[in-house]
Chains A and B, each alone.
Chain A
Amino acid sequence: MSEFTYLFRGRNTSGSPEEMQRHLEKWVAWMKDLGASGHIKEQGHPLEGTGKVVRGAQKIINDGPYAEAKDVVGGYMVIEARDLAHAAEISKGCPILDVGGSVEVRPVQKLNM
């Protein structure tokens, strides 16, 4: 088993209360499935939409990330899967895909000594 990080991009900010609730229920169910099938290595965290970006040798601090809503990372988690293809396959169940978001699947680098 290898470890992969899911970066969830995009957020669902519109929708009626009922639609938001349905969407949330899908998330909860998906997370539960992942947990039950032993894929979750670290539950991860949701991230605030605001923050600062520090850049360059001058260490200039800007408000940020100011990306388009669909590109903002809203949270991350670490999962376990056989390989990258498997990790990507599992991510297909993520409800963020229903609302124009994306899941970035990145293998966690292992130190091979």
Chain B
Amino acid sequence: MEPTDHLFRRESGRMVAAITRIFGIHNLSLAEDVVQDAFCRALEVWPFRGVPENPSAWLMATAKNRALDVLRRARTARTFAPEVGRLLKSEAALAPLVDELFAANAIKDGLLRMMFSCCHPLLPEEAQVALILHILCGFSVSETAAAFVTTHAAMEKRITRAKKALAKSKRLFDVSAGVEFSSRLPAVHRALYLLFNEGYHGASAETAVRVDLCREAMRLTALLIEHPLGAISTTYALAALMCLDAARLPARVDTSGNLSSLFDQNRSQWDQELINEGLKFLQLSTSAPEITEYHVEAAIASVHARAPRAGETDWNTIVSLYDTLTTLRSSPVVALNRAIAIGQNQGPEQGLEEIRSIPNPNRLTAYPFYWAALGEFELQLARYDVAREHFATAVALARNPMERGFFKRRVAATQIPNPV
């Protein structure tokens, strides 16, 4: 990755967070304007003067100056952040205050405050995740809509509503208050988990978009780990699960651009560095007795990561981990994955049996991988016609061309009677 890759996106979140601390959450859009201004400035100047040595510092300094301008011009007419309101009254205190909030540590702190603020309990989860992506990761409304495979209009509505709710909350979340921090933390975990999953399992056809989402979720999780109150067992478990899953990303699409299943992936392409990091985090996550779904999912990912070949996977352990996961958070998708693991462990008949016994499969039947799982087991049992039908259903339900291509190849696999 180039050092300047996605520089603007990243800086956008940092600058908006820093300025909002001064302007106040109710002036979020004003903060966003200041940041947009800084980018415009770069666009005007950099082509002629060249990209500055430290582009990120240049942008920060520009945004800082713009923010000061706004404060000087409007501090009598507008109310800014209640936390700093008093200081804004004195011209002498203004510049030092702004300097202080733009210091490296304060910016990190600002990002955390914004992240916790976005996870406001009054906001639905999908709005929290959209806000994080939009505000902290610098995705425009259109880009956020594309990442979540929804329309621009729907996303605009969701984000506008969420911003209004945020503005009403009056204050940015205070990350220095221990009790509040700990009670909001699970919602933040959940939002980052959903953001990561959107990248990992989401419907977007763009590999780059999906990798971006995973990377952003990991970056924000790392930020949590750096905070003394954030570095708890569950955060480590979440980080472990992200690292271990993300390690497989390079192998998910093969050299011809085709989706490759966990069973067929070239495991030498797995990112060993991320695996090691994930295992380290997993180790750290055992520091507390509590077990969350993130602990279990990380443990499942670690079993896959440790298997040099798909055939050497410890399915026994995976099945029992899915049993635990079911007690923590039962969902049709968890049940499906558990059934697939049982099928790997005890044979296709048993796998089919398990899939058929999933209660309330209604939601699953719209999920193409449900039909693909049925198809795989039928294929293993050499019932080619049934398998073909299942894969054809998966083709019809595929959410993007890459999935469609994948299921089509599975349909084709049923044409050659070549029992495994």
Is B106 located at the chain interface by the 8 A CB criterion?
no
Q: How far is the CA of A31 from the CA of B9 in the complex (A)?
A: 23
Contacts of A75 in B (CB 8 A): 44, 47-48
CB pair B51–A20 under 8 Å, yes or no, is no
Q: Return the contact of A20 from the options B8, B47, B142, B143 (Cβ within 8 A).
A: B8
Is B311 located at the chain interface by the 8 A CB criterion?
no
Is B419 located at the chain interface by the 8 A CB criterion?
no
Q: Return the contact of B8 from the options A18, A31, A45 (Cβ within 8 A).
A: A18
Least CB distance, A71 to chain B, in whole angstroms:
16
CB pair A18–B9 under 8 Å, yes or no, is yes
Contacts of A77 in B (CB 8 A): 48
Is B320 located at the chain interface by the 8 A CB criterion?
no
Q: How far is the CA of A50 from the CA of B192 in the complex (A)?
A: 43
CB pair B140–A46 under 8 Å, yes or no, is no
Is B260 located at the chain interface by the 8 A CB criterion?
no
For A35-46 the 0/1 string (1 means CB < 8 A from B) is 000000001111
Least CB distance, B343 to chain A, in whole angstroms:
42
Contacts of B44 in A (CB 8 A): 11, 46, 74-75
- With contact pairs A21-B7, A21-B8 given, residues A16 and B143 touching in the complex (Cβ less than 8 Å): yes
A18: nearest residue on chain B (CB-CB)?
Answer: B9
Q: Return the contact of A18 from the options B36, B49, B143 (Cβ within 8 A).
A: B143
Contacts of B42 in A (CB 8 A): 20, 24
Q: How far is the CA of A16 from the CA of B45 in the complex (A)?
A: 18
Size band of the interface chain A makes with B? 20 to 34
Least CB distance, B233 to chain A, in whole angstroms:
35
Contacts of A18 in B (CB 8 A): 6, 8-9, 138-140, 143
Contacts of B11 in A (CB 8 A): 17
Contacts of A28 in B (CB 8 A): 46-47, 50-51
Is B43 located at the chain interface by the 8 A CB criterion?
yes
- With contact pairs A18-B143, A24-B42 given, residues A13 and B36 touching in the complex (Cβ less than 8 Å): yes
CB pair A27–B46 under 8 Å, yes or no, is yes
Contacts of B143 in A (CB 8 A): 16, 18
**Which of A11, A27, A77 counts the most B-chain CB atoms under 10 A from its CB?**
A27
Is B177 located at the chain interface by the 8 A CB criterion?
no
Contacts of B50 in A (CB 8 A): 28
CB pair B140–A16 under 8 Å, yes or no, is yes
Q: How far is the CA of A23 from the CA of B138 in the complex (A)?
A: 16
Contacts of B367 in A (CB 8 A): none
Q: How far is the CA of A45 from the CA of B36 in the complex (A)?
A: 22
Q: Return the contact of A45 from the options B12, B39, B48, B140 (Cβ within 8 A).
A: B48
- With contact pairs A16-B138, A17-B138 given, residues A24 and B40 touching in the complex (Cβ less than 8 Å): no
CB pair A23–B43 under 8 Å, yes or no, is yes
Contacts of B48 in A (CB 8 A): 31, 43-46, 75, 77
Contacts of B6 in A (CB 8 A): 18, 21
Q: How far is the CA of A28 from the CA of B36 in the complex (A)?
A: 19
Contacts of B47 in A (CB 8 A): 24, 27-28, 30-31, 46, 75
CB pair A20–B45 under 8 Å, yes or no, is no
Q: How far is the CA of A19 from the CA of B139 in the complex (A)?
A: 10
**Which of A12, A24, A44, A46 counts the most B-chain CB atoms under 10 A from its CB?**
A24
A23: nearest residue on chain B (CB-CB)?
Answer: B43
Q: How far is the CA of A27 from the CA of B44 in the complex (A)?
A: 10
Contacts of B39 in A (CB 8 A): 17, 20-21
Contacts of A11 in B (CB 8 A): 40, 43-44
CB pair B46–A16 under 8 Å, yes or no, is no
- With contact pairs A27-B47, A46-B45 given, residues A16 and B7 touching in the complex (Cβ less than 8 Å): no
For B121-145 the 0/1 string (1 means CB < 8 A from A) is 0000000000000000011101100
CB pair A12–B9 under 8 Å, yes or no, is no
Contacts of B142 in A (CB 8 A): 16
Least CB distance, A87 to chain B, in whole angstroms:
18
Least CB distance, A48 to chain B, in whole angstroms:
8
Q: How far is the CA of A100 from the CA of B198 in the complex (A)?
A: 35
A30: nearest residue on chain B (CB-CB)?
Answer: B47
Contacts of B140 in A (CB 8 A): 15-19
User: Which residues 16-53 in B have Cβ within 8 Å of A in the complex?
Assistant: 36, 39-40, 42-51
Q: How far is the CA of A48 from the CA of B11 in the complex (A)?
A: 23
A45: nearest residue on chain B (CB-CB)?
Answer: B48
**A/B interface sample: 21 pairs, CB < 8 A:** A11-B40, A11-B44, A15-B140, A16-B138, A16-B139, A16-B140, A16-B142, A16-B143, A17-B140, A18-B139, A20-B8, A20-B42, A21-B8, A23-B43, A24-B47, A27-B43, A28-B47, A28-B50, A31-B47, A46-B45, A75-B47
Chain A interface residues toward B at CB < 8 A: 11-13, 15-21, 23-24, 27-28, 30-31, 43-46, 74-75, 77
Chain B interface residues toward A at CB < 8 A: 4, 6-9, 11-12, 36, 39-40, 42-51, 138-140, 142-143
| 5 smallest beta-carbon distances between A and B, as pairs | A16-B140, A17-B8, A27-B47, A21-B8, A17-B12
